[in-house]
Amino acid sequence: MADPYLRLDQLEVTFTGGRSPVRAVNGVDLTVDSGETVALIGESGSGKSVTLRAILRLNPEKKTRIGGKVTVGGRDVMGLGNKALAQFRGGEVAMIFQEPLLALDPVYTLGDQITEAIRRHEPISKADARKRALSLFERVRIPSPERRLDTYPHEMSGGMRQRAMIALALACNPKVLLADEPTTALDATVQIQILLLLRELQREFGLSIIFVTHDLGAAVEVADRIAVMYAGRIVEEGSARDIIHTPRHPYTIGLLKSRAHGAMTKGRRLDAIAGSPPDLADLPKGCAFAARCTLATDPCRQTQPELIQTETGTRARCLRTDQTLTRPGELVGA
């Protein structure tokens, strides 16, 4: 079997700007094959977006310490020089953001922003770049694309803006698409359209996608595999099916239980995970989830659990997996 196209080895990201260093990512191992979609899920501050940005080295360099290795297409990303890095960004790995209104330059037309990206990577004429931008707009199904190329971000609806952002990301035929909560800012019907579009484009271009979200429903919709992050670590990882049906980490189980899926009985309380995530500037010695976990014992608080293979398919960073087997259909309504 060939090496995975994208590989994170013990990725660590520490922000050193504040009074005490904040350890946002603490040893993340992740592989993504060509044409595979992996969803990174977790709550705010779990380190998923920071992980994504680290792949493109987008975290502010002066205030960030990065450890571990990022390999994309056989190249060590941390070792890239300025020129190679600029070529790599957008050319090999592209990114789409949560809120396209903020992530697009407000005073340039969409067409100009796309042609700028294309001409940054390839020596082609303005007219040719514009033709390509037009076909990209058609590809992401923006109505009257010719006219839309000359509009500014604020003149479009949220869904159209996200489509334009996807067109921009695909402008230089990247191999990997990093999607940072691309549907969070959109309303529900538009979310589905964008997810379907992403899946379609992924098949057509053979893209690898890392999809960051806190919405399990969206993750299941697009992902082959799901990795659950907590306090800067991947706590459970497996195929989308296994994660949804037979999760073994108490945190994943808690996330699934806290979803209001289907018709909830009136008067029933929503199962929420008690407590709040740990302070990333002062992480506990043992399992970071132990303080909120009903199954936690002394060993949990003393040692950092390793990622272990469970018999139900997922790999979980937990010492108590013997206690976490759920009945089929208990978590996801049959």
Partner 1 sequence: MLRYLVYRVVYAIPILLGVALVCFALVHISPGDPLISVLPADASVELQQRLLVIYGFDRSYPEQFILWLGRALSGDLGTSIASGRPVATEVFRAVGNTLLLAAVATVIGFFLGCLFGFVAGYFSNSWVDKAASTLAVLGVSVPHYWLGMVLVIIFSAQLGWLPATGAGPGGSGQWKWDWVHFQFLILPAVTMSVIPMGIVARTVRALVADILAQDFVTGLRAKGLGDLGVFFHVVKNAAPTALAVMGLQLGYLLGGSILIETVFSWPGTGMLLNTAIFQRDLPLLQGTILVLALFFVFLNLLVDVVQTALDPRIQRS
* Contact footprint for partner 1 (CB under 8 A): 53, 56, 58, 82, 86-91, 94-95, 97, 99, 102-109, 116-117, 120-121, 152, 154-155, 168-169, 171-172
Of the pair 120, 199, the CB lying nearest partner 1 is at: 120
Closest CB to partner 1 among residues 71, 151: 151
Min. distance of Cβ 152 from partner 1 in angstroms? Answer: 5
Q: Residue 284, SS3?
A: coil
* Helix segments in 45-175, DSSP class H: 48-55, 82-91, 100-103, 110-121, 126-139, 145-148, 158-170
List, in sequence order, every residue forming a beta bridge with 7; answer none if it has no partner: 31, 71
At its nearest, how many Å lie between partner 1 and the CB of residue 86? 5
Beta carbon nearer to partner 1, 145 or 153: 153
Nearer to partner 1, 96 or 234 (CB): 96
Element (H, E) at 217: helix 216-222
Nearer to partner 1, 106 or 123 (CB): 106
Query: Residues 98, 104: contact at Cβ < 8 Å?
Result: no
Residue 321: name the closest of 236, 232, 230, 231 by CA: 236
CB of 190 to partner 1, least distance (A): 20
Tell me the DSSP string of 81-115: -HHHHHHHHHHTEEEE-S-HHHHS-TTS-HHHHHH
CB of 223 to partner 1, least distance (A): 22
Q: How far apart are CA 24 and CA 48, in angstroms?
A: 9
Minimum Å distance from CB 234 to partner 1? 23
Q: Which of 191, 259, 255 shows the shortest CA–CA distance to 228?
A: 255
Of 136 and 290, the one with the shorter C-beta distance to partner 1 is 136
Minimum CB distance to partner 1, residue 54 (Å): 12
End-to-end CA distance of the chain: 36
Q: How far is the CB of 6 from partner 1 (least distance, A)?
A: 16
Q: Which C-beta is closer to partner 1: that of 66 or that of 104?
A: 104
CB of 82 to partner 1, least distance (A): 7
> How far from 247 is each of 31, 128, 226, 237, 304, CA to CA, in Å?
20, 50, 11, 9, 19
Residue 59 · residue 95 · CB < 8 Å: no
Closest approach, Cβ 334 to partner 1, in A, equals 41
Distance, CA of 299 to chain centre: 31
State how far the Cα of 211 lies from the Cα of 200, in Å rounded to an integer: 14
Using alpha carbons, list the distances in angstroms from residue 158 to 41, 69, 161, 325. Answer: 23, 36, 5, 41
Nearer to partner 1, 106 or 262 (CB): 106
Of the two residues 133 and 331, which places its CB atom closer to partner 1 in the complex? 133
Q: Which helix (H) or strand (E) holds 21?
A: none
